[in-house]
Amino acid sequence: MSTRDMARLGYLYLNNGTWDGEQIVSSEWVKDSSQPAWNLGGGWGYGYLWWLRTNLNFYSARGRYEQEIYVLPDQDIVVAITSNIAPGTYNPDYIIEEYIIPAITDEASYPFMFVSFVGLAILAKSLSRLQKSKRNVKS
C-alpha cells in the first residue's frame, strides 16, 4: 500500500466513510470502529483495528516497521507515515503530539508547515477544504 493510499483510507474515515459524496463505508461503522472498545489506560484505547489516543482525540492504524495512518478529527487532517524502521526506533506519536497538532492549532507560531521525515506525508487541512469546495461546486 502506498503512502497516498494510506492517506486515502484515513481521509475516508475523516469524512465518516464518504468519498466524493458517495457513502463507501457506513458512518455507523466508522464511528463504532474509531471509538474505544477497550480502555487501555493512560489516554489509550483500542477500537476495531484502530489505536485511540483518547486524551488527544485522534486515532491511528499501525503496521509493521512504523507504517501509520493518523486521523485527527479535531484538526481535520490525516497523516500517513511509511518507513522501514524497526519498531521502537522512533515514536511517530511524538511527531503528531509535538509538531503536527501544535502546527495546526497554533497558527501564529506555525503559519505553514511541511514535514518530510521518514517518508511522512501530510494530507493537510487545506487539501480537505479544497476537496469539499470542489464537491460544492459540482452540486
Q: What are phi and psi of 110, to 5 degrees?
A: -130, 85
Q: What is the DSSP letter of 60?
A: E
Indicate if the pLDDT at residue 120 is higher than 50. Answer: no
- State pTM to two decimals: 0.72
Residue 68: its H or E element: strand 67-72
Range of the domain at 75: 3-138
Tell me how many domains the chain contains. 1
CB 94 within 8 A of CB 54: no
Q: Which residues pair with 18 in a beta bridge?
A: 23
pLDDT digits (tens, 9 = 90+) for 42-68: 888 888 989 999 888 899 998 877 788
For cell 501509520, what's the residue? Answer: 68
For range 19-31, the mean pLDDT: 94
